[in-house]
Amino acid sequence: MISVSHLVKTFGDFTAVSDISFDVAQGEIFAFLGPNGAGKTTTIKMLTTLLRPSSGHIELDGLDPTVRQKQARQRFGIVFQDPSLDNEQTAWENMDLHGVLYHVPRKVRAQRSEELLKLFELWERKDAYVKTFSGGMKRRLEIARGFLHTPKILFLDEPTLGLDPQSRNQLWTHVKRLNETENTTVFLTTHYMDEADRVAHRIAIMDHGKIVAQGTSAELKEQTKTESLEAAFLSLTGSSLRDEGADSKDRLRQMAQMFQRR
Amino acid sequence: MGAIYILWLRELKRYVRSRVQIVVSLGQPCLYLLALGFGLGPVFRQAGHGSYLQFMAPGVVGMTVLFSSVFSGIAMLWDRQFGFLKETLVAPVSRMQIMVGRTLGGATVAIIQGTLILVICLIAGFRPHSWFAIPLAFLFVAMIAIVFAALGTAIGSVIKDMQGFQLVMNFLVMPIFFLSGALFPLANLPLAMSIITKLDPLAYGVDGLRGVLINTWHFNLAFDVAVLAGIAVLFLSAGAYLFTRIEA
């Protein structure tokens, strides 16, 4: 369903993603783990047509997203790291607007919105403005919205960041269920090892723009001779702290400023 | 087409729902109308130009449409801040459709605002020279709305923070308003000022409004319409170009 070969993204002389290759089968839940700045978000951005790869090849459901952008976008759903809901509209209106943008026929739109809002336990609040929602409710709504146009692939970029354990737990239960009932391929990034361990069929660990290991949770543990995924992760990526912050765009901006000063 | 409609509808919903905003945004033109209209009225009359309220009412309508339409474009700043912009940018529809939907929505809201102010002007004592002029006045209201909603979209695509917004308000929108002849006649101005006013798109809108409503022209009907149409095409193209270049 997703096939990536020799993907590279450079910003000036900084290499954010350095020659990575992997495949994700249909119906699989694939987790990308890695310290801050490892290149996870840059990879997701390239997969979802938001960034152009410097080189390498991507295939989503047999399509090259850099060439057939619109067709590719129709086939996937994405939940960004930061919220992307319209706070001034109701939950229902947010779903409806998404459905229109993704060419979902009116009847299907109404029916699926109802199903998904019920599944994610938001049906009672469907006519409330999103600005009155808690963080967990907003996340649930975004994920429900991501499923609305029956995407073949759903991208989740750190979807559980800042949520309490109850919300996280519930969220993954729903995602897993939809993955099983609709055979949606799920590509996710997270910092929570226990989540990856529990949800993902296969895991890739990324560091410094490279994939340092991939396989099932059991395979990773075996490979590193460790007891837990967390230990495996630390053994693969080292335990030194990474610089928090500067994402690829910030780095570009900093570079542009330095350039101007010269 | 669905995308254009749903984004147009969103702009309208936001407008109708923000009642406080409606009152606030109508407050400023009302202040101009009452304070200047009645305050400067006697001076204007003594100078032999007739009723100032009659003269400035079309200008205040133009001003309302200007502010309202530019604001709606710049409201993109908030959509960027709260993330909603991204949702539309990764959707499988062309950027052009998204831009057109937003811009038409903003223009529609501006037309409604202009209409409300026109009604307030009528209540305050403004009288058009003929009631048949009203439909033609709407042509000009609509053209002003489209021109400046497109400008707003172009600006909204470029600025990223509140400082940028302040800059645009002080150095672009306010000058466009003050130099448009909304508050004073364009005749007999010093040469430099006369040239600047001719570069102001709103000058043609206000002239058109004033022409059809009280039959006082500085340019003429055909010229005003032609200039506004030309500028609309120019600004829409600029808005479309800049909007398609936004990085998500």
- Nearest residue to B61 via CA among B13, B169, B133: B133
Is residue A90 classed as helix, strand or coil in its secondary structure?
Answer: strand
Two tokens, residue A77: 């759903």
Distance from CA of B27 to the nearest CA of A (A): 23
Strands A2-11 and A14-24: antiparallel
Residue A192, pLDDT score = 85
Residue B88, pLDDT score = 92
Q: Rounded CA gap, A129 and A92, in Å? A: 9
Residue A164, pLDDT score = 85
Percent of chain B clearing pLDDT 70 (strictly above)? 100
pLDDT tier for residue B47 given thresholds of 50, 70 and 90: confident
Two tokens, residue B50: 């007739």
Q: Is residue A31 a contact partner of residue A172, using CB atoms and an 8 Å limit?
A: no
What mean pLDDT do residues B153-173 have? Answer: 88
Q: Give Rg (Cα) of chain A.
A: 19
**Helices and strands (DSSP H and E) totals, chain A:** 10, 9
Residue A73, pLDDT score = 92
Residue B206, pLDDT score = 95
Q: Is residue A113 a contact partner of residue A105, using CB atoms and an 8 Å limit?
A: no
Residue B194, pLDDT score = 92
CA B229 to chain centre: 14
Which of A83, A87, A100 is closest, CB to CB, to B6? Answer: A100
Distance from CA of B77 to the nearest CA of A (A): 13
Mutate to test the interface with B, among A42, A82, A84, A113 (most CBs of B within 10 A): A84
Strands A185-190 and A29-33: parallel
- Comparing B10 with A232, the larger pLDDT belongs to B10
Residue B40 amino acid letter: L
Residue A170 amino acid letter: Q
In chain A, which residues have their Cβ closer than 8 Å to the Cβ of B85? 84
Q: Is the dihedral of CA B21, B23, B24, B30 positive or negative?
A: positive
Mutate to test the interface with A, among B87, B99, B247 (most CBs of A within 10 A): B87
Domains of chain A: 2-261 (3.40.50.300)
- Comparing B192 with A261, the larger pLDDT belongs to B192
- The residues, any chain, with a CB within 8 Å of residue B6's CB and separated by 6 or more, are A96, A97, A100, A101, B101
Q: Is residue B17 a contact partner of residue A88, using CB atoms and an 8 Å limit?
A: yes
Q: In what order do the strands lie in the sheet with A14-24?
A: A14-24, A2-11, A55-60
Residue A237 amino acid letter: T
Which of B10, B17, B83 is closest, CB to CB, to A84? Answer: B83
Residue of A nearest to B83 (CA): A84
Residue A247, pLDDT score = 57
Q: Do A88 and B14 touch (CB under 8 A)?
A: yes
Q: Do B248 and A50 touch (CB under 8 A)?
A: yes
Write out pLDDT tens, residues B123-152.
Answer: 988 999 988 889 999 999 999 999 999 999
Q: Rounded CA gap, B15 and B37, in Å? A: 28
Q: Do B90 and A48 touch (CB under 8 A)?
A: yes
Which of A85, A96, A249 is closest, CB to CB, to B84? Answer: A85
In chain B, which residues have their Cβ closer than 8 Å to the Cβ of A84? 83-87
- Listed in order, strand segments (DSSP E) in A85-164 are 153-157
Q: Rounded CA gap, B229 and A244, in Å? A: 51
Q: Is the dihedral of CA B20, B21, B24, B26 positive or negative?
A: negative
Write out chain A's pLDDT in tens, 262 residues: 899 999 999 988 888 899 999 999 999 999 999 888 888 889 999 999 888 899 999 999 989 988 888 999 999 999 998 889 999 999 999 999 999 999 999 999 999 999 999 999 999 999 999 999 998 899 999 999 999 999 999 999 998 888 888 888 888 999 999 999 999 999 999 888 888 888 999 999 998 888 988 988 888 888 888 878 888 888 888 766 665 555 555 566 555 655 554 4
**Helices and strands (DSSP H and E) totals, chain B:** 14, 0
Residue A219, pLDDT score = 87
Q: Do B6 and A48 touch (CB under 8 A)?
A: no
- Nearest residue to B53 via CA among B134, B129, B126, B120: B126
| Interior angle at CA B234, CA B232 and CA B238, nearest 5 | 115
Q: Which residues of A touch B (CB under 8 A)?
A: 48-50, 70-71, 73-74, 78, 80, 82-89, 93, 96-98, 100-103, 249
Write out pLDDT tens, residues A207-221.
Answer: 888 898 898 888 888
For chain B, give every domain's residue range. 2-244
Q: Do A48 and B13 touch (CB under 8 A)?
A: no
Residue A250, pLDDT score = 59
In chain B, which residues have their Cβ closer than 8 Å to the Cβ of A144? none
Residue A261, pLDDT score = 46
Q: Rounded CA gap, A110 and A12, in Å? A: 46
Write out pLDDT tens, residues B62-118.
Answer: 999 999 999 888 888 889 888 899 999 999 999 999 999 999 999 999 999 999 999
**What ipTM, to 2 d.p.?**
0.87
CA B193 to chain centre: 21
DSSP per residue over B86-136, as a string? HHHHTSSS-HHHHHHHHHHHHHHHHHHHHHHHHHHHHHHT---S-TTHHHH
**For chain A, how many residues are written?**
262
Q: Do A103 and B2 touch (CB under 8 A)?
A: yes
Which of A48, A73, A86 is closest, CB to CB, to B84? Answer: A86
Distance from CA of B79 to the nearest CA of A (A): 8
Residue of B nearest to A70 (CA): B92
Residue B58, pLDDT score = 94
Residue A257, pLDDT score = 56
Q: Is residue A94 a contact partner of residue A130, using CB atoms and an 8 Å limit?
A: yes
